Amino acid sequence: MKELNLYKIQNKLRNKFLKSGVKMMGPETIFFSTDTKIGKNVTIEPYVVIGKKVNIGNNVIIKSFSHLESCKIENRVEVGPYARIRPETILKEGSKIGNFVEVKKSIVGKKSKVNHLSYIGDTTIGKSSNIGAGTITCNYDGIKKSKTKIKDNVFIGSNSALVAPVTIEEKSIVGAGSVITKSVKKKSLALTRSLQTEINNYKRK
């Protein structure tokens, strides 16, 4: 009986959003909460789960296999596929969260992008910043959580680790593969990487 009631509730919610103009691909695979709020011209792809306290703005695309809970998605945002947006997250207008990205208790600024394979936790990202593939904000030291601040127009190279608490000032660059443990000054390049060693004509013994 409980499963039947849940099925009826979901169908009612799906029909409600379809009538309001939400575009759904495979609506029977999409799940909503009773308090979900969705704006105009929103597209939701198959196998999306929207948990409690989610507010979605206008002209938003939620791609397949994404999971959202207790977050705010502003206008013209793209999420997924395979993205997880955790509680107390705000995705500002025009931002993009790509595939296999997890965002927790963070603000992603206007037109900023976290496109691939990243974890963003307890972080504030400014406007027009790019977070490279494989970037991790190291927010937990085993005892307490700390915050990362990434200012406007910052470029974080792929496979970087930002060890909180740390601030990356505006218009700075973090080179790929870096482990950043100290704050980076405005318009600076921060790079922590071992020198590449090459042995010519090497043969295994």
Catalytic residues, which ones?
Answer: 116
Distance (Å, rounded) from C-alpha 63 to C-alpha 71? 16
The token pair at 83 is: 């993205």
Q: What is the CA radius of gyration of the chain?
A: 20
The token pair at 11 is: 């169908």
Phi-psi region at 145: left, alpha or beta (left = phi > 0; alpha = psi -120 to 50):
beta
What are the two backbone dihedrals, phi and then psi, of residue 44, each rounded to the nearest 5 degrees? -125, 120
What are the two backbone dihedrals, phi and then psi, of residue 46, each rounded to the nearest 5 degrees? -60, 155
By C-alpha distance, which of 139, 141, 129 is closest to 174? 129
